[in-house]
Structure 1
Amino acid sequence: MSTTDTHTKAEAAVASQAAIRGDRRESVSARFKWTTACAIYMLLAFPLHFAFFIMVVIFWAVGVPLTILWVGFPLLYAAVMLARTLAVVQRRVNRAFAGDRTPRSVLSFFDREEAYNGFAYPAPEGVDRFRRLLYPLRDLQSWLDIAWVVTSFPITVFNWCVTFTWTVTVPLALSAPISIPILESLPGAWYNGIGGLLRIPHPMVFDIVLFFLGGLVMLVAAPSVLQGLARLQFVYADLLLSRRARNRADIERLTQSRAAARKAESAALRKLERDLHDGPQQRLVRLNMDLARAKRQAGSDPVKTQAILEEAMVQTQDTLAELRQLSRGIAPPVLVDRGLAAAVAEVAARSAVPVTVHADVPEIPDHVASAAYYVVAEALVNVNKHAGAGSADVVVGVRDGYLRVTVVDDGEGGADRSKGHGLAGLEERLKSVDGALAIASPQGGPTVVKAVIPCAS
């Protein structure tokens, strides 16, 4: 082995170790920030929750008996609105801590839970203003908000006590090597710690070591303890404040997906019927007429019959080619046999406009790959027919559990769903697999078509 290779390997090893140390530092830093954020949240949540808890309980306790006289309804309404205020704050805290990697384009279609992030909850349509104003008293989520304010208060109190104890004890215990000798050295000081009570030799040293080691243990355990308590608070809040909305969002999403699937299937069948009628069916009718004419002239004019048969063979080959083309639109063989990346490359190769493909796709469900294929195929058809583009780029990849497809061309722009060009049908097809379509096409270009499809749809 040469000296150069040895130096190269040594430099690579040093770089690798440096990268590992950097990752560890970043991990420790992120862990410290997350623990600090959880501690601050739990310390601040108690006084806020305590104030709302007192007001909600008072309004509720006074309002329920007085509902017989109708005086209690304004008090119940006030309790509902107070609980809703705290619930909205908690939902936003949950979202800030838990994060949300779902693309906004997908949420804009289906996420019913988004409606509960604001103070005004969704109300039934078609009701007058007065009934809409009183609807919070009938809305189940309003009573779940009140239930959360009341039942989660003990959790908030417990978390605050543990967090306060932890945040105060750790710095005091770690400062024991400094604070205990200082206390002992003060005039008239009389120190009698745990070591003195147990009558251990050198009690001050024993207490310093005991407190310092205890502080270290609590410091090391702080991320697990404080983050665990915070997660308990987040999970319980999510259960009462967001689970119902999320279930409603799932139901709405599935309803829309089924409707979109039926609509897309119906449109595909109509298109297939139209293509068969305008293409192969017309050719077969002409082929039948040519063969009948050849049969009549077979005995009288063999030369003309031969010409007719040759033309019929051409018609047969053209019909077969059209049928193959239509079968690609139903289930492209290359997509089934070789996967999405190869199918996209084949579509790009058939384009009259030069297309550059960047596709790195792992194994994904067949319906997801099929939807992505049609996105690319339809987008490239529009590039060739309408865009006036000189080149196009196709990027296909999976990130965060979503298949993302992007088609960009340098054409004239101006593409719009309302203008047709197959974009509306493409959007319905994507909805049937819980996907979403976004189009940016200013006048003068470029046109960017983006599709996002959940791999687990």
Structure 2
Amino acid sequence: MPSVNDMTTTYAEAASAPARRGGVLRQIGLDTQYVLLGFPLGIIAISLVMPLFWLGVGTSIIWIGLPILMATMYLARGLATVERARIGPIFQRQIQHPYYKKRPGASPIGKMLTPLTDGQSWLDVVHGVFRFIPSTIAFVFVVTWWSGAIGGLTWGLWGWSLPSGPDDQDLPELLGFDSSYGTKVAFYLALGVFFAGTLYWVVRASALLEAYFAKGLLCGVNDLRNQVAAANAAREVAQQQKAAAVSAEATALRRLERDIHDGPQQRLVRLAMDLGRAEQQFATDPDAARATVAEALAQTRETLDELRALSRGIAPPILVDRGLQAALTALAGRCTIPVDLDAPQFERLDPAVESTAYFVVAEALTNVAKHSNATEVQVSVQRASSGLLVEVSDNGVGGASLAKGHGLAGLEDRVMAAGGVLDVDSPVGGGTRLTAALPI
């Protein structure tokens, strides 16, 4: 028996079928009007751009040709703008207007001659001159297929009106078929079915042929420029993440060194002194020696507790073994301020993401306990399609900052190193809301 999900999926597919059919018919209409309109536009373009261009080139030696060349380029630019608007529906997205070279501080003559030094302006001219080639090819295929589909499917309604003298032979007779009217109807009907069945693919291919030619000349340079800009931006982000990772690692190492120096190292020094004193007391005062050893054992337990706490700060075992929800539950239980935790169970994430989310909450709770004077804390960890959203808010005194010297300064580097962003909203007297968005 099909499940409820299967039935829902089947119903959704059945309901979307008319929409898909409507989309196909709409695309055929868009592609057809694009090609049919492109053919006269191509004739207009070659009739205007090519003669003016060669006239400008031929007369440029006597300077009269320069204004003609400028007029040609601006005409080609106008036709290119129209074409960019036309190819948008073919690719089902808006085509970005490219960058044209400008010289705001130039003289009037310099501004007039600017298109001569602009690569995109020359590409517009090339498109205006040669666009009739793909336009003509596309036009021929589209008109042929539409004529074949409509004519073949409807031939039986009007074919009887065609002259049929002794010297008049139509296509079925030329191919050796029976000359009876029924045979002709069946032949043309089959032909119409063929053209109608392949109409979408032929019209689509014809429109894309013309559209890709226009896109390559009118948008190719701009697309390449955008790709280079995006690559540079991605490289800068990667460099920032690398710097943030190095900074976060250095901060964590300095904090670990300070914690070891201030905690376990001092206790181990005292432990060594107590054991040395006990060794000297065993010969003269055994009771005092036993008391010293007992105190040393207490120091050992406290040292072990501090080392466990430090190890949790490096790589909490509960996070590795049981996941983020269990680790945050344990973290909330150790906090000295009541914590309202909202962290639903979901599948395991990348270890780096889980570790970053854990340390965001851990560092935030530490700062709340030390500086906020808050009476309650809300911790929320939610997974969205784009990433993991971690939010920690309290009702304390506010005033928290990501600036250097504040408790949250190193946390921003850790989040940035994971590819995320960190935001702190902490008005004085209004509590603090810390939000981290991490990619997954």
TM-score, scaled relative to structure 1: 0.63
Q: Contact 1:284–1:319 (CA<8 Å) still a contact in 2?
A: yes
Residue among 14, 17, 20 paired with 2:13:
20
Q: Secondary structure at the match of 1:392?
A: strand
One-letter identity of the residue aligned with 2:151: A
Residue among 197, 215, 220 paired with 2:196:
215
Separation of aligned partners in 2, 1:275 and 1:154: 75
Q: Contact 2:389–2:438 (CA<8 Å) still a contact in 1?
A: yes
Q: Does 1:256 align with 2:205?
A: no
Aligned to 1:374: 359
Separation of aligned partners in 2, 1:118 and 1:426: 41
Change (3 A) 1:187 1:199: closer
Residue among 384, 388, 397 paired with 1:404:
388
Q: Contact 1:375–1:451 (CA<8 Å) still a contact in 2?
A: no
One-letter identity of the residue aligned with 1:428: D
Aligned to 1:430: 415
Residue among 372, 381, 386 paired with 1:394:
381
Q: Does 1:175 align with 2:143?
A: no
Query: For each residue in 1:35-76, what CA deviation from the matched residue of structure 2 results, as whole angstroms up to 9, or x when unmatched?
Result: 77777788889969x979959x959x96xx99xxxx99x97x
Separation of aligned partners in 1, 2:287 and 2:407: 47
Q: Contact 2:142–2:202 (CA<8 Å) still a contact in 1?
A: no
Separation of aligned partners in 2, 1:292 and 1:312: 10
Q: Contact 1:170–1:219 (CA<8 Å) still a contact in 2?
A: no
Counterparts in 2 of 1:47-446, with a 5 A limit?
Answer: 143=119, 145=120, 160-161=135-136, 164=139, 172-176=147-151, 180=155, 184=159, 194-195=171-172, 198=175, 200=177, 201=179, 202=181, 203-219=184-200, 237=220, 240-340=224-324, 342-351=326-335, 352-362=338-348, 364=350, 366-382=351-367, 386=372, 388-396=375-383, 399=385, 403-409=387-393, 411=395, 416-418=401-403, 422-439=407-424, 444=430
Separation of aligned partners in 2, 1:262 and 1:241: 32
Q: Secondary structure at the match of 1:17?
A: helix
Q: Contact 1:404–1:451 (CA<8 Å) still a contact in 2?
A: yes
Q: Contact 1:195–1:204 (CA<8 Å) still a contact in 2?
A: no
Q: Secondary structure at the match of 1:417?
A: coil
The range that moved more, 235-244 or 431-440, is 235-244
Q: Secondary structure at the match of 1:360?
A: coil
Unaligned runs of 5+ residues in structure 2 are none
Identical amino acids, percent of aligned pairs: 31
The range that moved more, 268-277 or 420-429, is 420-429
Q: Contact 1:416–1:441 (CA<8 Å) still a contact in 2?
A: yes
Query: For each residue in 1:358-386, what CA deviation from the matched residue of structure 2 results, as whole angstroms up to 9, or x when unmatched?
Result: 2423553x434433433343344455553
Q: Contact 1:416–1:423 (CA<8 Å) still a contact in 2?
A: yes
Q: Contact 1:353–1:390 (CA<8 Å) still a contact in 2?
A: yes
One-letter identity of the residue aligned with 2:150: S
Q: Contact 2:45–2:129 (CA<8 Å) still a contact in 1?
A: no
Change (3 A) 1:36 1:348: farther
Considering only CA atoms, is the larger Rg found in Structure 1 or Structure 2? 2
Separation of aligned partners in 1, 2:100 and 2:431: 40
Separation of aligned partners in 1, 2:364 and 2:131: 53
Change (3 A) 1:13 1:356: closer
The range that moved more, 322-331 or 243-252, is 243-252
Change (3 A) 1:251 1:320: same
Separation of aligned partners in 1, 2:97 and 2:292: 73
Q: Secondary structure at the match of 2:344?
A: strand
Separation of aligned partners in 1, 2:346 and 2:130: 47
Unaligned runs of 5+ residues in structure 1 are 1-7, 100-115, 122-128
Number of residue pairs the alignment of both structures matches: 403
Separation of aligned partners in 2, 1:317 and 1:207: 97
Q: Secondary structure at the match of 2:389?
A: strand
Q: Secondary structure at the match of 1:391?
A: strand
Q: Contact 2:149–2:191 (CA<8 Å) still a contact in 1?
A: no
Tell me how large the CA RMSD over aligned residues is.
Answer: 5.6
Q: Secondary structure at the match of 1:265?
A: helix
Q: Contact 1:439–1:449 (CA<8 Å) still a contact in 2?
A: yes
One-letter identity of the residue aligned with 1:219: Y
Change (3 A) 1:320 1:31: farther
Separation of aligned partners in 2, 1:342 and 1:31: 51
Change (3 A) 1:156 1:58: closer
One-letter identity of the residue aligned with 2:10: Q
Aligned to 1:450: 436
Query: For each residue in 1:433-454, what CA deviation from the matched residue of structure 2 results, as whole angstroms up to 9, or x when unmatched?
Result: 433334566785783613132x
Q: Secondary structure at the match of 1:358?
A: coil
Change (3 A) 1:419 1:252: closer
Separation of aligned partners in 2, 1:417 and 1:346: 26
